[in-house]
Amino acid sequence: MKIALVQINPVIGDFDYNCRKILDACDDAVQNGCSLIIFPELAVSGYPPHDLLERPAFLGEHNQALDTLCGKFPEIDVLVGCIEQRQKTDRGKKLYNSAFFIRKGHIIHRIQKQLLPTYDVFDEKRWFEPGMAPEIIECQGLRLGITICEDIWHSEIGEYDLDPVEALFADNQQIDCLINISASPFQRDKESVRHRLFRNICTRHQVPLLYVNQVGGQDSLLFDGRSLLMDAHGTIRAKSLGFTEDTLIVESDDWSGNLHEPAEETGLSAVCDALVMGIRDYVGKCGFKTVVLGLSGGIDSALTAALAVKALGPGNVFGVALPSPYSSDDSMEDAEALVKNLGCNFEIIPISNLFASFKESLQPLFGDSPSNPSDLTEQNLQARIRGNLLMALSNKFGHLLLSTGNKSEMAVGYCTLYGDMNGGLAVISDVPKQLVYGLSRFINREKEIIPLRTITKAPTAELKPDQCDQDDLPDYKILDQILEMHLEEHLGVKEIMNRGFSKELVTDVLRRVRINEYKRKQAPMGLKVTSKAFGYGRRYPNVQNFKG
């Protein structure tokens, strides 16, 4: 039979919108002769709904939407991710994260997710009860083993006693195909891990796998889609596009289909596509149409602007240069060259007079101490003047303000609260500085979009004469290595020192990370592309003094 794997981009809580997508996909699948259609995890509500699951009205609308769907489905079997309410008399959480198998308008099978992740960005045990024993369903003569997202990750995560996949194959049960419906977020190089995991399962049990993943940006999480068919030999025989809605039709007779994109799509291309999708979805789903950002002539703002133009189109991106007394002619030239290459809107608002006015107003309180450009107070004043002006433009014209700081700066506090940290979305706050350079060169792979000098010159905030980032920070090549070991591998001072770094350097970097937690708690939401981003998935106290 023909099976349709449909990765949709839902909007959490917009049940009418999500159901229209589901029904439209069903109609298309019927037109293409499909007998079964499969949707991602929690496709009706969108994933992750978080504490909306505590709202009776949210659950009521979900159930009403599901009832309406069942009454409108065409003649096709449907496997779709849903919220399932448990009996009020049952102990434990009141909900299951379930997959419903629906035939002719009736729910024939309810399969509950068994492994509920509670690490990094996941907290599913807060809302859901673990499911019952795994279930095999029959469809058109095929026996299908159904799993939901984490259920298939037992061997990779290593913290669960139960293995739902192995349980499906217990007692030599015949299974013709394993199915996994997911809302699995993207992170850099995760696809290779995913494929290795799938390959081990398929070859161990000599069974094909159908994997259907959500796509789209949801707050900080980016879902890459890239649904696939892997055969019993571990070969990818069909695969959906990444980072966009797509339908993949596979044949069960010989377990074949089409490759809409290469079997392996990793590296800079995937990160770039993820960030572009994240901008587009965050802006659009939040009801904005346009964005504004400061353009300093530096690489961080240049990369952010290039990604925003790719996501939204040049007419919807407004770049603003805000030169101070310490801004170089080179930086202004680079900012102007960038907007010429991008074709986006551009304005220049000098801040020298405002800066002088602020210092004059503060002089009676500051006393007779001479004005010192190296004083952090004066440096931060410039950043905050810029932040105020950009927020004013955001308020007046309804633009979403994009902040442009990278992960390396955010980690060590090389940023100004209520200044360059202002914004509604921090596009590259999970992109380390070295990856900023890599993405910029990737964007320039066919023609120069980001001016070459922007990429090659020494990074600087230009808040004092002849300033350079490396006056205050280690070289970014070294800093990023230490930060990755600390933030993503969770290593402390001694472990990092054992990898060849001096105690003085490591202690200083980790001290900066520790004392700047309060800044990151007040930062705008960022788009997650690494295994450990600042934000929801990293919950450290502001007040703590552990130095290890």
Q: Please identify every residue annotated as catalytic.
A: 41, 113, 149
| CA atoms of 392 and 488, how far apart (whole Å) | 37
Question: Which amino acid is it at 291?
Answer: V
Which of 51, 71, 53, 73 minimizes the C-alpha distance to 61? 53
Please say whether the beta carbons of 213 and 224 come within 8 A. Answer: yes
Q: What is the DSSP letter of 491?
A: -
Residue 344, Cβ density class (10 Å: 0-12 exposed, 13-18 middle, ≥19 buried): buried
| CA atoms of 182 and 146, how far apart (whole Å) | 11
| CA atoms of 307 and 535, how far apart (whole Å) | 21
Structure tokens at 287: 């009801």
Structure tokens at 509: 């970097």
Helices (H), 73-189: 154-157, 164-168
**321 has which bridge partners?**
348
| CA atoms of 225 and 223, how far apart (whole Å) | 6
What strands lie across the sheet with 291-294, from one edge to the other?
A: 345-348, 317-321, 291-294, 400-403, 425-426
The beta strands (E) that lie in 307-386 are given as 317-321, 345-348
Which of 489, 490, 481, 368 minimizes the C-alpha distance to 434? 481
Long-range own/partner contacts, residues 377-384 (CB < 8 A, 24 or more apart): 378/463, 378/464, 379/416, 379/461, 379/463, 379/464, 380/416, 380/419, 381/355, 382/324, 382/326, 382/351, 382/355, 382/419, 382/463, 383/416, 383/419, 383/420, 383/461, 383/463, 384/416, 384/418, 384/419
| CA atoms of 461 and 383, how far apart (whole Å) | 9
**178 has which bridge partners?**
145, 209
Q: 433-443 and 299-312 helices cross at what angle (nearest 10)?
A: 50
| CA atoms of 8 and 155, how far apart (whole Å) | 28
Q: Which helix (H) or strand (E) holds 95?
A: strand 95-103
Residue 111, Cβ density class (10 Å: 0-12 exposed, 13-18 middle, ≥19 buried): buried
